[in-house]
Amino acid sequence: MRSHALYPQYFIVPALLLYLGLFILPSLIGFGYGLTNWNAWNQNLRWIGFDNIAEIFSGDPRYLLYIQNTLLFAVVTTVLKVVIGLALALLLSGGLKSSNALRTVFYLPAVLSPLVIGLIFTSIFNPTRGLLTQGLKAIGLSGLTRSWLVDLSTAMPSVMAVEVWRMSGYCMVIFLAGLKVIPQNLFEAADIDGASAVQKFFKITLPFLQPSISINVILNLIWGLKVFDLIFVLTRGGPGYATGVLNTAVFFEYSSGRYGMATALGVVIFVITSIIALLVLRVLNRNTVELA
Amino acid sequence: MGKMKLTMILMLSLLLLAGFSTAYASGKTEGTSAKETGTITFGASQNWIKDVDRDIAADFEKETGIKIDYQVNPDDQYTNIIKTKLNTGEAPDIFMWAAGLELRQLPLDKVLDLSSEPWVGRLKDWAKKSGMVDGKLLGLNTWSIDGWGMVYNTAIFDKYSLTPPKNYPDFLKVCDTLLKNGIIPVYEIPIDLWHTELFMDEIAADANLHSPGLYEKLNSNKAKFADVKEFEQSLTAIKEMADKGYFGPTYMSDKWTNATEALGTGKYAMFLGYTSWQVECAKDYPQSGAENWKMFPSPLGATGDVKSFGTSAGGVLQLVYKGSKNVNLVKKWLAYKTQVPVLNKFYAGRADLGNPSFPEVTKAPTAGLASMTDFVKGNFLSDGATGILFWDQMGFGSLIQGMLAGQMTPKQVLEAIDTNRAKVAKAAGTPGF
Amino acid sequence: MKSTRVRGSILEVCVWILSLVVLVPFVLVLVNSLKDRAGANIMSLTLPSIFHWENYAIVVKEGKLVQSFCNSLLIAALSTLVSVFFSAMAAFVLSRRRSRTNKGLYYFFLLGLAAPLNMVTVIRSLQIFHLMNSYLGIILLYGALLMPFSIFLYYGFIASVPREMDESAMMDGCRGFSGFFLIVFPLLQPVTFTVCVINFMNAWNEFMIPLYVLNNSGRWPMTLAIYNFYGRRVSDWNLVFADILITIFPVLVVYIVGQKYLVSGMTAGAVKG
């Protein structure tokens, strides 16, 4: 009744129109191409139904590897980013003198574009002259050095490490904003009751951070599942196919002229991402804390 | 807090206004009724526009008032961007594209037919052929035809009494001698994916020589890469060279950008380069004597003595978008570019282009080119990428990199090549696939 | 008392050591941007023997960075504004009135986080609306792409702002747009700054879309300038690094300026009650 006047539906219209017209409708129409044999050579499209999708799930080891890598990358980097981000946020909200400066420093990597990161880390990961190898040698751990981006055992971990480096500060920022919402009086009351730091963390901090955790987990999962630029710039999906993910496959299919196949892969990514995101959203938002 | 916020907002809005007006003003300086002057948009990959191109464009603008807007795109995205733009009708007026078979990847009905332009008749034969598809000339070639062979440091070879090997076993002996004397035999760069696959690319010419019609068979699915002995041997050779240490200890991360340093400092003795590569090495390292170095064809994969030198289709062409609104301006540019003094200036500024596309421009062959011509008795044949459809340089290179990392065997690399290639060929409707 | 202070200082030092992990790559870029070409190719952390400050001048001139800076600023700032305002409005209503329709619309917006961008169909869309090759077109496109994320952030945080604020606005007679922008929107300050910073950064760093959508290189953003040094002179890493620093500098400024307000601008009094 009264709420209708205060929360008018027409507020949604501008966003919806823009979103539909320039993003979602073209995307959905684009999906249609995945069901055709659209490629670089034919001018007349032919409907081939789910042939492309069937090819992806036909048990071809390469596609299986892509799916595996995509999931692995998304999950591992998300977990690490959230944990490190939270740790950093806790450290920096404790009233250190240089908190402001430190906050800026840790956020810096998120500012760089993938091309820049690729250049920097390709040089850092150079097996002989790079900083990482030199650094390990300097502290006497030269036995651990590898050809970081080319060795099959370290290629994927190296790429994941760069992503964690890049976005932990981003998570930290979200957590910092979330931490500020927690009423101080709760902590004061807990102190009076003699609660330990661990107890305070699990009983007060964590519940209030639900929305922030939710946001960080879901966003990073989604971006992890859709990753392309970073992997492409660091390893091009190589050596061979070792670090290939679904979105690099999209690029290579598109480059080789098989546009329909590329689009079909895009649809698969979209479906996987949506399902996972919705599931996680459901699970995490079961216990939200309302302040009002 | 209120005042701070206000000032910040004011500053931002001022900046915005400044940016907006500058940007808007510049955007408006496009020629309105592009009749005699205007701007030509020119699409190219990041590696194809050099300083001399910008100089020539500046000269052109001074002479005719027509501006050239070079739109330099990242190399990886370039072909995707141009194909998309051609398909959606937003292509630049001129765009560059690789000569030869790759032309077929374009929507050919969107490219202007240049067969009746005045300068066509003056082109050298190979230059004309490189730009033709189905009898129509689609691209102007102002590049060079070249191939990749083993450039070797003649001083080092003389020091250890080595002669350019004719076949693979002799080549291994040469490498062995060099390594024993503390010189790394060959500088190789698997991380630059397109380079390592060149060994296979080059030996394809020899393979086609030994089994005539091989290229046609590969193009009609009557033969597969896995069947070609030379291909498998070249891959096995690459792995063997790496394992024996002939590529040196850092080959997995060595880059193209350090190639001149590797050979110029005498640390490495050989490099798979094009016939004018030594000129660039001499420029960076004048003490090295690189201008006197010679070349021999790569024996990796050869079944006997190497008899041919594989050459490319002819480099990079300039093509014209059929739907361009500035076709008359573009034709003026092409006419300008093909004038002899302009061509002279261009080729003078491009040390890497050794064989000009027009006969009026002469360039003395490098020592490398001369020795190579001598070695194969002038037998310059089409390399793999020129004669075989769907030669995916980067894709092959990536597989080879995987082979070197131990992920697959040479045979598996060829099988993967065949599988990928068949998919693309089938999509393109190639008969036989 | 003293022990906690000592503990605090030790902690601070430790965190700074930790921050080296983040800082070292940046130092690498900075240091190498001041070397000559040969020195920069090695990409080491050593200081340059001569400080080649002119690298920056070269980069600005040859990369036409002044022009592209203005383009980047215009495009990034306006797309941020568009996405922030549209999203705040939409998320406000979606979050307060959780009818079935609105819940559905919310998830519909979230789909955009996962949806792939199909350049071909988007170009066709822009052509239909006569927005190709224009600032307005790319600004609106970015706005659309940034919307799912912005709505997502706003939705969550609006839930934590008590409804009493909205009611009090109504009692003062403010409705609709004015009610929203005068009373409610200021309460969303922390989120707004987060969204602004992140959206600005995303729009600023984008380099794929301008390639397809802007046909006039006079309109290209700074992110594309780097390719002028990349290929022309094959290995001018010192210039590439100088270009990188110039390009990321504005985003850093926005973040540094914005993050102070991000943390300090809270609904003081409203939440503590």
Does residue C267 belong to any structural domain of this protein? no
| Nearest to B187, CA basis, from B163, B158, B156, B151 | B151
Range of the domain at C41: 2-55
Q: Which of C92, C160, C251 sits opposite A181 (nearest CB)?
A: C160
3-state secondary structure of C151: helix
Distance from the Cα of residue C210 to its chain's centroid: 16
- How far is residue C147 from each of residues A188, A214, B149, B213, C213, measured CA to CA in Å? 39, 18, 54, 58, 19
Yes or no: say if B209 and B308 are a contact pair by the CB < 8 Å rule: yes
* Prediction pTM value: 0.85
Is residue C42 located within the same domain as residue C100?
Answer: no
Q: To which residue do tokens 């839930």 refer? A: C159
Side chain identity at C64, as an amino acid letter? Answer: K
Cβ neighbors of B151 (< 8 A, separation 6 or more) are B263, B270, B271, B272, B273, B277, B278, B293, B294, B295, B368
With CA atoms as reference, the chain A residue closest to B420 would be A256
Between A16, A27, A131, which is nearest C117 by CB? A27
Query: CA-to-CA distance for A51 and A262, rounded, in angstroms?
Result: 13
CB contact under 8 A, C41 and B71: no
The values of phi and psi at residue A144, to 5°, are: -85, -5
Residue C186: HSE in the Cβ half-sphere, 13 Å Cα cutoff? 12
Per residue in A120-176, pLDDT (tens digit) is 888 788 887 778 888 888 888 877 777 888 888 889 999 999 999 999 988 998 888
Q: Are C260 and A100 in contact (CB under 8 A)?
A: yes
Residue A283: per-residue pLDDT: 82
Provide CB contacts within 8 A for C140, sequence distance 6+: A18, A22, C79, C82, C131
Inter-chain residue contact B23 with C74, CB threshold 8 Å: yes
- Summarize the confidence of residues C54-59 as an average pLDDT: 85
Q: Tokens 């001074």 label which residue?
A: B62
Calculate the alpha carbon distances from C144 to A59, B20, B300, C76, C205 in Å.
37, 21, 54, 13, 16
Residue C272 lies in a domain: no
Please report the beta strands in chain A, taking only residues with DSSP state E, as ranges in sequence order.
Answer: none
Q: Is residue C252 part of a domain?
A: no
Q: List CB contacts (< 8 A) between A150 and chain B.
A: 191, 252-253, 401, 405
C267 touches chain B (CB under 8 A): no
Domain count of chain C? 2
Residue C40 shares a structural domain with residue C113: no
pLDDT band per the 50, 70, 90 thresholds, residue B5? low
Task: Provide the pLDDT for residue B19.
Answer: 52
C78 and C98 co-located in one domain: yes
Please answer yes or no on whether A263 and C118 come within 8 Å at the CB atom: yes
In B351-411, DSSP assigns E strands to: 380-382
The reported pLDDT for the residue numbered B164 is 95
Mutate to test the interface with A, among B191, B250, B430 (most CBs of A within 10 A): B191
- The Cα of A98 is separated from the nearest Cα of chain B by a number of Å equal to 22
Instruction: Considering only residues C273 and B413, tell me which one the structure prediction assigns the higher pLDDT.
Output: B413
C36 with C74, same domain? Answer: no
Q: Do B19 and C41 touch (CB under 8 A)?
A: no
Quick one: C13 exposed, middle or buried, by C-beta within 10 A (0-12, 13-18, 19+)? Answer: exposed
Q: Chain C contact for B213, CB < 8 A?
A: no
Domain identity same for C33 and C88 = no
CA dihedral B144, B150, B156, B161 (to 10 degrees): -120
Neighbours of chain B (3+ CB pairs under 8 A): A, C
pLDDT tens digits along B421-431: 998 898 888 89
* Residue C240 within a domain: no
pLDDT above 50 (res C270): no
Instruction: Quote the CA–CA distance of B48 and B338 in Å, as a whole number.
Output: 18
**B409 CB within 8 Å of a chain A CB:** no
C87 contact residues in A (CB cutoff 8 A): 15
Question: Is residue C90 located within the same domain as residue C143?
Answer: yes
Q: Mark whether C116 and C193 lie in a shared domain.
A: yes
User: Looking at the structure, do residues C122 and C185 belong to the same domain, yes or no?
Assistant: yes
Q: Report which of C157, C144, C148, C159 is spatially closest to residue C110, judged by C-alpha positions.
A: C148
Dist. CA C200–CA C83, nearest whole Å: 10
Tens digit of each residue's pLDDT (9 = 90 or more) over B214-250: 999 999 999 999 999 999 999 999 999 999 999 998 8
Chain A residue nearest residue B86, CA to CA: A40
B218: number of Cβ within 10 Å: 27
- Chain B residue whose CA is closest to A260: B427
CB distance A16 to C105 below 8 Å: yes
- By CA distance, what is B91's nearest residue in C? C215
Contacts of B405 in chain A (CB under 8 A): 150-152, 239-240, 242
Closest CA to B375 of B158, B144, B167: B167
Phi, psi of A24 (to 5 degrees): -70, -50
* pLDDT tens track for B86-123: 988 899 999 999 998 888 888 888 999 999 999 999 99
Q: Is residue C118 part of a domain?
A: yes
Nearby residues of C246 by Cβ (< 8 Å), 6 or more positions away: C56, C59, C60, C65, C222
pLDDT at B26 over 60: no
Judge if C119 and C167 occupy the same domain.
yes
Whether the bond into B359 is cis, omega within 30 of 0: no
Nearest residue to B111 via CA among B85, B141, B81, B142: B85
Nearest C-alpha neighbor of A69 from the set A223, A267, A237: A237
Backbone φ and ψ of B123, nearest 5°: -65, 150
The ipTM value here is 0.82
pLDDT at position A205 over 80: yes
Residues C121 and C158 in one domain: yes
Sign of the CA dihedral B184, B189, B194, B196?
Answer: positive
Strands B148-152 and B294-296: antiparallel
* Assigned domain for C71 exists: yes
The neighbouring-strand residues paired with B318 are B96, B140
Residue contact B401–A147, C-beta within 8 A? no
- Interface residue C101 vs chain B (CB under 8 A): no
Instruction: Give the mutation candidate from C9, C19, C198 for the A interface (greatest A CB count, under 10 A).
Output: C19
- CATH (domain of C79): 1.10.3720.10
Q: Kindly report, residue by residue over B32-70, the tens digit of the pLDDT.
A: 444 578 899 999 988 888 889 999 999 999 999 999 999
The count of CB pairs under 8 A between chains A and B is 81
Q: Are residues C95 and C225 in the same domain?
A: yes
- C97 lies in the same domain as C228: yes
Closest CB to A239 among B249, B407, B423 = B407
For residues C193 and C265, is the Cβ–Cβ distance under 8 A?
yes
Distance from CA of B18 to the nearest CA of C (A): 8
Is C260 an 8 Å CB contact of chain B? no
Q: Does residue C247 fall inside a structural domain?
A: no
Which chains would you list as touching A if contact means 3+ CB atom pairs under 8 Å? B, C
Average pLDDT along chain B? 89
All domains of chain A, ordered by start, with CATH?
Answer: 49-287 (1.10.3720.10)
Give how far the C-alpha of residue C155 lies from the chain's centroid of Cα atoms, to the nearest Å: 19
Q: Is the dihedral of CA A169, A172, A176, A177 positive or negative?
A: positive
CB atoms within 10 A of CB B286: 11
As a whole number of angstroms, the distance between CA A238 and CA B191 comes to 10
Q: Cα A60–A66–A70 angle (5° rounding)?
A: 150
Task: Identify whether C30 is part of a domain.
Answer: yes
At B406, which amino acid appears? Answer: G
In our burial notation (b when 16+ CB lie closer than 10 A, e otherwise), range B316-332 reads: bbbbbbbebebeebbeb
| Tokens 């699409």 sit on residue | B43
Report how far residue B368's alpha carbon sits from residue B277's, in angstroms, rounded to the nearest whole number.
9
